[in-house]
Amino acid sequence: MMNEKMTSAFLDQINKELYSEYLYLSIKAYFLDLNLQGFATWMDVQIQEEHAHAMGMFNYVVERGEKVVLSAIDKPESSWKSPLDAFKAILAHEQFVTSKINDLAQVAQDTNDRAAMLFINWYIKEQVEEESNVGGVLAQLEMIGDDKSALFALDKELSTRVFVAPVIG
């Protein structure tokens, strides 16, 4: 059993992880509209990762003997000015998620839930990787500027990304 405050914090974070999946699905649709298949493939991996993150927390809450009650997922944005702007939005969102994971860790500390603290540590490390991955693509897009041939070369490179199911916890 978990403290009610801890359970509530996990349920809120599950919602945020599912929103991330939904947002990234919207960004994938944007890239498909631009016929940037590689960018869409890169987003597919993000979508799967966010789903895995949500399900990791979902399963953890159940494992701790608590009931999962889902709440509505907000509608995500659906258009951006450019791939660069889309990746700026992705980085800002990942930074937001990092802050929320840190808030979740604070609740675990405040409620003295050591099991939750250990579990959340995986997510803290994962967020460092998430921000770094997004930041790398963003840096390339900034260097590319308006060079369409470089954009298509990056699109081809991003098409090689594959999902590797994380071992959470």
Q: How is the chain split into domains, by residue range?
A: 4-71+81-158
The model's confidence at residue 14, banded by pLDDT at 50, 70 and 90, is very high
- Number of neighbouring beta carbons within 10 Å of residue 47: 19
Whether the model pTM is above 0.75:
yes
> What pLDDT, on the 0 to 100 scale, is given for residue 155?
98
Is 26 strand, coil or helix? helix
User: What type of residue is 68?
Assistant: V
Please state the rounded mean pLDDT for residues 91-117. 98
- DSSP codes of every residue in 41-73: HHHHHHHHHHHHHHHHHHHHHHHTT------PP
Residue 52 token pair: 């895995």
Position 169 pLDDT exceeds 90: no
Contacts for 156 with CB less than 8 Å, ≥ 6 apart:
38
> What pLDDT, on the 0 to 100 scale, is given for residue 29?
98
> What pLDDT, on the 0 to 100 scale, is given for residue 161?
97
Distance of CA 67 to the CA centre of its chain: 23
Please state the rounded mean pLDDT for residues 105-119. 98
Please state the rounded mean pLDDT for residues 93-111. 98
Position 105 pLDDT exceeds 90: yes
Answer CATH for 4-71+81-158 from 1.20.1260.10, 1.10.3430.10, 3.40.50.2300, 3.40.47.10: 1.20.1260.10
